[in-house]
Amino acid sequence: MVQERILPVFDTAQTQITKEEGLLLYEDMVLGRSFEDKCAEMYYRGKMFGFVHLYNGQEAVSTGVIQAMRPGEDYVSSTYRDHVHALSAGVPAKEVMAELFGKATGCSKGRGGSMHMFSSEHKLLGGYAFVAEGIPVATGAAFASKYRREALGDAGSDQVTACFFGDGAANNGQFFECLNMAALWKLPILYVVENNKWAIGMAHERATSVPEIYKKAHAFGMAGVEVDGMDVLAVRAVAKEAVARARAGEGPTLIEALTYRFRGHSLADPDELRSKNEKEFWFARDPIKKLAAHLTEQNLATQEELKEIDRKIQAVIDDAVKFAESSPEPDPSELYRYIFAED
Ligand SMILES: Cc1ncc(C[n+]2csc(CCOP(=O)(O)OP(=O)(O)O)c2C)c(N)n1
Ligand SMILES: [Mg+2]
């Protein structure tokens, strides 16, 4: 018998979504899932190199948080599991795929690869491969928004930052240092812990003294909430509250989303450590199927409309692969370009 942490119950009746909003959430999650299924295929066909970490299963967190923000205006920082955050933030699928292929048309000009998606245009502060490395960067971005508004008098500088990281990262010192500063200075930031129960092969309960990460917010006088990370409507509801708090100048929130990755740690991991029972418990909670069921039950969408979205996304992904395959490699003469800002 698996002992799973009891997931917080969210009553969908509490949230009102329009058909348009529901379909947007569905489309964003399907984009993330299908894009990464294609990544796995391309990786095993030798089209991409190095480590590739997929986000399958965790889509409700990226979609629920980023769609509750102003994508393209608000800041997002990620980890090495960054493809789906980039897509939710609005980076075109073809630029993410080209980056994975190491091509010059990729969002990081082919210099980053899987773990280093970046887009200044989409306010994506980057994927970071060192565990917890994005936390101080995101905290700095939140500080900069507040500083521009309050010290430099730029009233329009009301951006909020979402900082995504894992349960393993929440044991790192930077997490505590940054939470302290963010609470002290009331920074406009959401610290979003994606608690998928594992840090490579280390079970969360074996690595931390208080497994309920959201409770650590209270030590800093910060709002801390837990949420079912397999329910996009629940994630979106807590994210909306946190965004409103941040934008109103009332400070940060620590959101702990209970979630699960449907694949191994990376595509090089045979995934032999996690028990069959545990996997089955979580596979049965697929966030995409859950939202699809809600939309059809509430007569917000028909099966046919959802299938139409699936087909549309498949075409986007096929185009992304064609674009990546036909794009040029970075020119060796430009090896040293983009190391420093040019203008
Ligand atoms: C500073 C640092 N230490 C160790 C590693 C090796 N490492 C890579 S991923 C990982 C596990 C992180 O787990 P978690 O934060 O829960 O994220 P998840 O992979 O579950 O999304 C570790 C220890 C690293 N990349 N950086
Ligand atoms: Mg983890």
**Ligand 1 atom, smallest distance to 133 CA:** 1
Residue whose CA is at the smallest distance from ligand 1 atom 13: 199
**Ligand 1 atom, smallest distance to 131 CA:** 26
150: tokens are 């309050």
How many Cβ atoms sit within 10 Å of the Cβ of residue 337? Answer: 12
Strand blocks (E) in the chain = 75-78, 124-127, 161-166, 189-195, 198-199, 202-203, 223-228, 253-258
Residue whose CA is at the smallest distance from ligand 1 atom 4: 131
| Cα 339 to middle of ligand 2, angstroms | 31
Residues within 6 Å of ligand 1 by CB:
81, 129-131, 165-169, 196, 198-200, 265
**Which residue has tokens 């993330």?**
32
Q: Which of 218, 136, 215, 143 is nearest to 186 (CA)?
A: 143
What pLDDT was estimated at residue 146? 98
| Cα 168 to middle of ligand 1, angstroms | 6
Is the dihedral angle over the CA atoms 186, 82, 233, 271 positive or is it negative? negative
Do β-strands 161-166 and 189-195 pair in parallel, antiparallel, or remain unpaired? Answer: parallel
323: tokens are 């674009």
Do β-strands 253-258 and 223-228 pair in parallel, antiparallel, or remain unpaired? Answer: parallel
Instruction: Give me the count of residues in the chain.
Output: 343
What pLDDT was estimated at residue 273? 94
Which ligand is nearest to the Cα of residue 55, counting in written order? 1
| Cα 30 to middle of ligand 1, angstroms | 26
DSSP secondary structure letter of residue 119: B
What pLDDT was estimated at residue 209? 95
The strand pairing partners of 165, in sequence order, are 193
**Ligand 1 atom, smallest distance to 194 CA:** 21
Residue whose CA is at the smallest distance from ligand 1 atom 3: 131
| Cα 131 to middle of ligand 1, angstroms | 5
**Most ligand 1 atoms within 8 A of CB, residue of 53, 200, 256, 271 to mutate:** 200
| Cα 23 to middle of ligand 1, angstroms | 33
| Cα 194 to middle of ligand 2, angstroms | 7
Which residues are in the CB-under-5-Å shell of ion ligand 2? 166-167, 196, 199
Q: What whole-number distance in Å separates Cα of residue 122 and Cα of residue 205?
A: 36
* Phi, psi of 47, deg, nearest 5: -90, -15
133: tokens are 């490395």
**Ligand 1 atom, smallest distance to 81 CA:** 21
| Cα 230 to middle of ligand 2, angstroms | 15
What pLDDT was estimated at residue 223? 98
First-to-final CA distance of the chain? 59
**Most ligand 1 atoms within 8 A of CB, residue of 131, 195, 206, 267 to mutate:** 131
| Cα 165 to middle of ligand 2, angstroms | 8
**Ligand 1 atom, smallest distance to 167 CA:** 16
**Ligand 1 atom, smallest distance to 79 CA:** 21
What pLDDT was estimated at residue 343? 62
Fold for 54-326, please state it. Answer: Rossmann fold (3.40.50)
Point out the residues of the chain with pLDDT beneath 50.
1
CB 291 within 8 A of CB 66: no
What pLDDT was estimated at residue 153? 97
| Cα 201 to middle of ligand 1, angstroms | 10
Q: Which of 147, 10, 161 is nearest to 76 (CA)?
A: 161
CB 172 within 8 A of CB 128: no
pLDDT tens column, 84-100: 999 999 999 999 999 99
